[in-house]
Amino acid sequence: MAILAECPNCRIRLSIKKKTCRCGQNIDTAKRSGRVKYWISYRLPNKKQIQQCVGSFEELNAYSVEDARTAEGKIKSLKKENRLLDVKADSTMTFDELTDWYLNLEKVKSLASYDTIKINLSKFNTVFGDMFVSRIKPADLENYQARRLNEGVAPGTVDHEIGKPKTMIYKAFDNDLVSGSTLKTFRRVKKKLKKGSDVRDRILSPDEFEVLMQNSSGHTKALIATGYYTGMRKGEILSLTWDKVDLVNRIIKLDADDTKDKEARNIPICDELYKILFSLPNRIQESDKDNHVFQYNGKAITRYIRDGLKKACKGAGIKYGRFVKGGFIFHDLRHTFNTNMRKAGVPESVIMEITGHSTREMFDRYNTIDEEDTRKAIEQLGGYLESANVNNLLTKPEMKIKNK
């Protein structure tokens, strides 16, 4: 067991007896100016080597050598009582370090939302990156939410900035990196976006779709058309490969691994989409080349389609943005497909089979009732009442006499 001094210049941890770091920093001078952080190095009963920052101990100052000796004494007491294994990694790990671990997990790196996860964790770590994970309290997270809302950030965005770290904490807890106390802290924080207020009802009218296509080109046009005519999710579209597309029989065949709900499904290709897919320049290529349907400069489009869509929307005079009133985003094409299919008289069970909606609740969420629907409903009501009134006149004797 030993006390280590962290060089403020290169961050190397040295024996407390060292006077100069190998980078040239004078450690004694740095100590006197309060710039040296202290760590306790010790070994667990399972032989695992641990370096724990003095600042991770309650009410101890990481930059105080006296507090470092106090922390060393606490570790010795735990060792004597055979309680060293009770020490969790979150006592010695900052949120920056935990984030590095999480973002390097292969399963996380394969997620379509990986870039979004990185952005939200980066926002969170701007405030909490240097904090030891075990030290965070519910009040810290609540203060973060309040501050972001006061800055004009949308409630949904604030929820994502807390939600992504929360998911990371769950993963860390499953891998014995954080304690139940830390997990409980994140569980206590409530979302700021009211339930149901994030349900989108934006759909593209046929006229809007036509002008949007006129202002789109290349891969952007093909992506928009595929979303509009199939109702596929963005991730399913971007990961689509030519071996899944049967242009002869005009069908897209998705395996279970290709879909969000892990259920295989077949999606018909209409005439308009067939023309667009058939015209793609990479339709016929060598087998050793990238087999993705949607490419840009010969490379698969994996995540970024926002710039092309924003440009197309601007040219079409359509508002763009999730938090813009009346704004359109790519995912709204899925809403549009569901709604158009329902208006065309396609049975709901068939629509759900094509789109992969496993519950009626989710289908209803993506099926939008618009002004045209309500107008037709009133017209139908008027026709019914008119017919009923005529029938009543023909069946009531006193009305016949009166009419004479």
| Residues 327-345, mean pLDDT to the nearest whole number | 86
Same domain for 358 and 210, yes or no, is: yes
* Rounded percentage of the chain residues whose pLDDT exceeds 90: 24
Q: Are residues 398 and 356 in the same domain?
A: no
Q: By mean pLDDT, which of 29-38, 80-89, 164-173, 234-243 is the weakest?
A: 80-89
Spell out the residues 6+ positions from residue 219 whose beta carbon is closer than 8 angstroms to its own.
294, 295, 296, 301, 305, 308
At residue 83, the pLDDT reads 62
| Most confidently modeled range among 78-87, 106-115, 354-363 | 106-115
Residues 131 and 270 in one domain: no
Query: Is residue 193 in some structural domain?
Result: no
**126 and 70 co-located in one domain:** no
User: Rounded to two decimals, what is the model's pTM?
Assistant: 0.52
Is pLDDT above 50 for 403? Answer: no
AA identity, residue 247:
L
- Between 170 and 392, name the one with better pLDDT: 170
| pLDDT, mean of residues 312-321 | 92
**Do 242 and 147 have their domain in common?**
no
Give the confidence band of 344 by pLDDT, cuts at 50, 70, 90. Answer: confident
Do residues 222 and 355 both lie within one domain? Answer: yes
Same domain, 114 and 54: no
pLDDT averaged over the chain? 81
Is residue 29 domain-shared with residue 141, that is, in the same domain?
no
The alpha carbon dihedral of 117, 123, 124, 129 has a sign of: positive
pLDDT at 373: 55
Interior CA angle at 197 toward 194 and 200, to 5°?
155
Distance (Å, whole) CA 352 – CA 346: 10
Query: Which pLDDT belongs to residue 89?
Result: 57
Query: SS3 sequence, 296-325?
Result: ECCEECCCCCHHHHHHHHHHHCCCECCCCC
Lowest-confidence pick of 26-40, 115-129, 228-242, 358-372: 358-372
Whether 348 is in a domain gets the answer yes
Predicted local distance difference test score (pLDDT) of residue 118: 92
Q: What is the pLDDT of residue 119?
A: 92
- In whole angstroms, what is the distance from residue 311 CA to residue 220 CA? 10
At 386 the pLDDT is 65
Instruction: Decide if 111 is inside a domain.
Output: yes
170 with 267, same domain: the answer is: no
Point out the domain boundary residue: 87, 112, 132.
Answer: 87
**Quick check: is 47 in a domain?**
yes
* Mean pLDDT score, 348-356: 77
Print the domain residue range for 173. Answer: 95-188
pLDDT higher at 150 or 199 = 150
Q: Of 71, 87, 103, which residue constitutes the final position of a domain?
A: 87
Give me the pLDDT at residue 400, please. Answer: 47
Residue 262: is its pLDDT beyond 90? no
> Higher pLDDT residue, 86 or 40?
40
Of 46-50, 316-320, 368-372, where does the model show the most confidence?
Answer: 316-320
Is the pLDDT confidence value at 25 over 70? yes
The per-residue pLDDT for range 91-136, each reduced to its tens digit, is: 667 899 899 999 999 988 888 678 889 999 999 999 999 888 888 8
- If asked whether residues 232 and 347 sit together in one domain, one would say yes
When divided into structural domains, the chain yields a total of: 4
Average pLDDT over residues 32-56: 80
In a domain, residue 257? The reply is yes
Asked if 13 and 160 sit in the same domain, the reply is no
Final residue of a structural domain among 156, 188, 220: 188
Determine the pLDDT at residue 347.
76
Q: What is the mean pLDDT of residues 335-356?
A: 80
* C-alpha–C-alpha distance, residues 113 and 331, integer Å: 14
Residue 195 domain flag: no
* Candidate from 53-57, 70-74, 128-132, 229-233 with smallest mean pLDDT: 53-57
Query: Same structural domain for residues 160 and 71?
Result: no
The answer to whether residue 201 sits within a structural domain is no
For residue 197, being part of any structural domain is answered with: no
- Radius of gyration for the alpha carbons in the chain, expressed in angstroms and rounded: 31
Q: Look up the CATH number of the domain holding residue 123.
A: 1.10.150
Q: What is the pLDDT of residues 363-401, one digit of tens each?
A: 555 555 555 655 555 565 566 556 655 555 555 555 444
Mean pLDDT, residues 345-353 taken together? 77
CATH number at residue 314: 1.10.443.10
Q: Where are the alpha helices (DSSP H) in 231-305?
A: 234-238, 271-278
